[in-house]
Each structure stands twice: as structure tokens, then as C-alpha cells.
Structure 1
């Protein structure tokens, strides 16, 4: 991760102002010079921060009228979207949304993997499941999560489509946090091991629809476990 800059800090500060309601959708931002003075930064820093926010559609410009706040539904910056979704104790919204994204991407990846996997991919998936079992028995949460992620990453690789991995890589930190939260529960770990085995067996048959169905059922179980063990405890 690169070093943070004053521009990064100002972007976060303005985003917090928006999320906390100090700047509302379609509100006009103060002039650039006023922003620089309020945050004790140079006008160049303020200019670059506003440029970064516009690039993510968090702000928009009306010619001759100034810069305004876009409603969150129009934002395109992933970090900002996740931060907005998490704002105000909306962790459930983020977790459910991530499961939905995984379902859309990973079921298709499993279908492709059934047709395109190599013996090396199969061996990597077997090794990941073996690691999950070992870390489960040892009570090693971090090891278990790493093995879980490694299994799914191999499925994505086995799909033979580099764009699939790139899409989910953008959600890496959020997916890790979500997996770690659910995998802290022993029963969910047992379910994950069983469903990973089913996914592997379905991929090895070479039947794309069978693999798609197995991954879909894994996502069903992931959602059910989340609702029962995580959301239920929060409630």
C-alpha cells in the first residue's frame, strides 16, 4: 500500500462530511479556496482532492455554477461505495451485497472451471481443502480463512478468464473481513469444508451446469449461515 498523502486525507474528510450529512446530495461545495482554508491545505491539494472525487462521481460539476454532491446511487468509486454502505451500522447490507456479488461471479467461474481446469488446478483445490481441515482442527482462524480464499482463487484461475479474478480482486479487503467474521464460527467452518468438497467434485466431472449448481448451493449455504449465525447474533 502506498503512503497516504494530504490529498487522500482531504478526500476522506470531504467524504465523511457527505456521509455524516454535513454535505447533502446536490449541495454546492464551498469554493476551492475556502475548502483549502478549512482543511489547512494548499489550493493545489484541494483541487486534486476535488478532482479525485469527481473521477468517482461523488461530485459533479455544473458549468458556471460550481461543484455539487452526487447522490450515493451515482457513485462509481468502490472504496467510497463500501464506506457509504457500511456507514451507520449497515454492516449487514455490505455482507449480503458481497455474497450476492460472489454468487454472480463465482457460479459462472465454476462452470468455466469445469471445462478448463488443469490437473494443477485440481491439486491446488485439494490442497486448499486439506489446509482448511487442518486449520479447522487446530483452531487457526487466519489459516482457515487463507485456505478458503486460496480455494476460491484457484476456481477463478481455473475459469481461464483473467477478468474474473480482477473483478473480485477489487473487493479483496472487504471479502477478507466478511470471510473472517463468518469463519470465526466453528459450525460455519464445517459447512464450508463440506461445500468446498462438493464444488471440487463437481468441477472435476467436467459438467459445467453441475459445477454452477454446486457453487450456487455453496452460496446458498453461505447466506443461510450468515443470516443464522452472524446476523442473528447481531440482532
Structure 2
């Protein structure tokens, strides 16, 4: 794993303090000199760290006054929002909100893909579903998750809407981490295979409404599995 740069270390520490509430919303951050002394880094490094947080919408600079924390609604970094959401809400609440977002994106993508998919798209979906089955057979969670994510990516691309893939991309890394956690449960793997099979069959028929319903069913099953096997067990 690549070592974090000093800029990333400082930015991450400041974000962590904001997430924990040590630095509140609309509260001023320590001065560049204070942050530099605390981390034993130059002011240039601190400025670059502040620029990182500005680019994420986490902080704003008020001329002549200093840097202040923005309300979370103004943050533009998915990772930052997930961190603060995870700190202020239960893991189940965060999981449910992520599924709500997925449902909005993916049911629409399935609806569009049903009439726009190509034979090559269907072949790719079948390959990824076979890879999920193969991963499940030997309980290779990493292979299972990779194939699962790839299956959904094909549908997003097959929708023919260039904005869907771009808008959904930031969620992919988050989903990969969470899929790895949930897919360790064998029953969840089995349910996911069945749901993906239903989606593929609907897409193969070219039935847009059935494809939308199949994806919606998958979201319902995913949420039920998380409640039953992950959070109830925890």
C-alpha cells in the first residue's frame, strides 16, 4: 500500500477532528502555524492540506479571518460524507441510505438497458454471473465481489446514458468495501446470485418494466440481508 503524503496525513487528521466533532460546523480551524507545529510540517504543506479540504467542500476560507468548517450539506466528497454519516448514525442507517441511492440509480439503469443492451452486453452479464457462481462455489469472496460489481457496471453502461456511469462511479469504491463485508455470508451470496439471474433474464427478454422490477427486488433483498445477517448478528 502506498504511503500517504504529508499533505494527505494533515488533511485526513483535520477531517477526522471535524468528523469527531472536535471542530464543529462553522467553527474556525487552527491557524496554519498551529497545524504546522502540531504535525511538524511546513506551512506550504498545511496550505496544500487546506486546499484539499476546500476542494471537498469541507472547509471555506474567509479572507482576513481564517478557515471554517462548512455544513455537511455543502460537502462534495463522498468519502468525507460517509465518514461523518458513519460517526453520527448507526451502520444500518448508513447502509439503508446507500441502498436508497443505489435504488434510484440502478432501477432506472436497468429500465433503460433492457431496450438498449447489445448481445455483447448480455454475454458479459452472463460471464459475470458465472464468475459469481464460481466464486460462491469455493467461497472466494474477492472474486465474487469483483464479478458482482462488474455485473452492475455493465448495466450502467448498457443504459446508454453517459451520465449514469459517471455519477455512480464515486459509489463504486464504497460499495466494494461493503460488498466484501456482506458477501462473506454464504446465504447472502446465494440470494445475490438468484437476484442477478432474475435481472439477466428480464434484460434478455428486453422487458424494461420487468428489468426495473427485478433490480428493485435485488435492492429489497440486499437490504433484508443486511438487516438479517449483518446488523442483527452484530
**Partner in structure 2 of residue 54 of structure 1:** 54
Secondary structure of 1:29's aligned partner: coil
2:132 pairs with 1:132: yes
Give the distance between the partners of 1:144 and 1:51, measured in 2 at CA. 38
Tell me if structure 1 keeps the 8 A contact 2:116–2:159. Answer: yes
Aligned residues: 234
2:196 pairs with 1:159: no
- Shift, 1:184, TM fit: 1.2
Runs of 5+ consecutive residues of structure 2 not aligned to the other structure: none
Normalised by the size of structure 1, how large is the TM-score?
0.92
Normalised by the size of structure 2, how large is the TM-score?
0.92
Give the distance between the partners of 1:37 and 1:180, measured in 2 at CA. 39
2:151 pairs with 1:145: no
Give the distance between the partners of 2:19 and 2:63, measured in 1 at CA. 25
Closer, same or farther in 2 for the Cα pair 1:192/1:91, shift >3 Å? same
Give the distance between the partners of 1:142 and 1:89, measured in 2 at CA. 28
Give the distance between the partners of 2:79 and 2:186, measured in 1 at CA. 30
2:96 pairs with 1:101: no
Alignment of 1:1-235 (within 5 A): 4-87=4-87, 90-234=90-234
Secondary structure of 1:22's aligned partner: coil
- Report the aligned-residue RMSD: 1.9
Summarize deviations over 1:134-177 as a string: whole Å, max 9, x none: 22222222221122112111111211223222222212221011
Give the distance between the partners of 1:94 and 1:232, measured in 2 at CA. 15
Tell me if structure 1 keeps the 8 A contact 2:7–2:45. Answer: yes
Give the distance between the partners of 1:52 and 1:139, measured in 2 at CA. 40
Give the distance between the partners of 2:186 and 2:31, measured in 1 at CA. 54
Runs of 5+ consecutive residues of structure 1 not aligned to the other structure: none
Tell me if structure 1 keeps the 8 A contact 2:128–2:148. Answer: yes
Summarize deviations over 1:157-206 as a string: whole Å, max 9, x none: 21122322222221222101111122111111111111111111111222
Give the distance between the partners of 2:43 and 2:85, measured in 1 at CA. 30
- Shift, 1:31, TM fit: 2.2
